[in-house]
Structure 1
Amino acid sequence: MKNLNNVIFLLLLVAAIAVSCKDDDVDCCTIVDTTIIMKFVDENGVNLLNDIAEHGIEPAGIVLYYKVNGQWEEYFEANLDAPKGYLTTEESGDAFFILYTDPSYSENNITEIKIQFTEDLSGILKAEFTQNGSNVTCTKVWYDDELKWDQTSQSERSFTVEL
């Protein structure tokens, strides 16, 4: 009886190991690489997110609009860490705008976003995405129709915009 219990235990152990083996043909992970980092400056190179009191931009007042079927729709997803689609951060005394683009709004692999800074100041960002299996990657970024970043540059996806 003891031998039968040992045999059953070994069979269960072998079955557990066989079931837990990984199939190399299955995609285990999803990578979504769509973040864009920007710095907004004036004609003198002053960071407008740093210099709010003088003539800068209040980060909390920025609103994003995604183009959906030819119409601008305000972006707000309350369940996200960045519900307005962006955050700001500071590094070495410089403020940066971190845009979390949403490729689900893409038409022909391009997402179009209006960044409304104030009532009178806005810009249009376009981001191109590629999808390979479950992975989504931003490959090009334009700001007001000027190419600002391209994946072939193999640099960080960040740039400065003069407003």
Structure 2
Amino acid sequence: MGCSSDETDCCTIIDTAVSIKYVNGDGENLFDLDNGLTVSNITTYHKINNEWVKYYNGNLDNPKGISTAETEDGTFLVIFPSTTIVENSYTETKIEFSESDFDILRTELNKRNSNEFVTKVWYNDELKWERNQTDRVIEIVK
């Protein structure tokens, strides 16, 4: 399918996924360990109207907004953060590992025309990635 020449906005680009490699203090990938992390024991919440709302969309391939990706560097969590603006151009997503263990992913989201793409990523208030540095991949010691 192509765009007609009289349209100025023919395509939508949504590029928001963040890949996270979780490692322990010894550098071991927590998704690759026995009794380590799994998608089934992680819950995500999107901050909407100043409240955390559990994210689940049964119509999607990844209804919790997360999946894993296997790479030569091990298994990564792929998270599709909230696209609801909390303030200015920022979104917040809570990654919950248990009732007492959670982290906050904050993204700067550029919404232009019908496009949405992440330009900065913070993890627990620490800037971890900025646009055009590398692929949107971060490593977290847990």
**Common fold, TM-score beyond 0.5?**
yes
Output the CA distance in 1 between the equivalents of 2:108 and 2:65: 17
Higher helix share: 1
Using CA pairs below 8 Å that are at least 6 residues apart, which structure has the higher relative contact order?
A: 2
**1:89 matched to which residue of 2?**
69
**Which of residues 31, 34, 40 in structure 1 aligns to 2:22?**
40
What displacement does 1:92 show? 2.4
* Structure having the higher Rg: 1
CA RMSD, Structure 1 to Structure 2 (Å): 1.6
**2:139 matched to which residue of 1?**
160
Distance 1:59 1:85, change over 3 A: same
Report the residue type matching 1:128 in the other structure: E
Matches within 5 A, 1:71-82: 71-82=51-62
**Which of residues 37, 44, 57 in structure 2 aligns to 1:64?**
44
What displacement does 1:135 show? 1.2
Q: Secondary structure at the match of 1:60?
A: helix
Report the residue type matching 2:129 in the other structure: W
Cα distance per residue 1:95-153 (max 9 Å; x no partner): 110011231x2222211011001233211000111122111110000000000000042
TM value normalised by structure 2: 0.90
Structure 1 consecutive aligned stretches of length 4 or more whose deviation exceeds 3 Å: none
What displacement does 1:69 show? 1.5
Output the CA distance in 2 between the equivalents of 1:27 and 1:118: 43
Report the residue type matching 2:18 in the other structure: I
Higher strand share: 2
Unaligned stretches of 5+ residues in structure 1? 1-20
Output the CA distance in 2 between the equivalents of 1:22 and 1:148: 40
**Which of residues 63, 73, 78 in structure 2 aligns to 1:98?**
78
Q: Is the 8 A contact 1:30 1:135 kept in 2?
A: yes
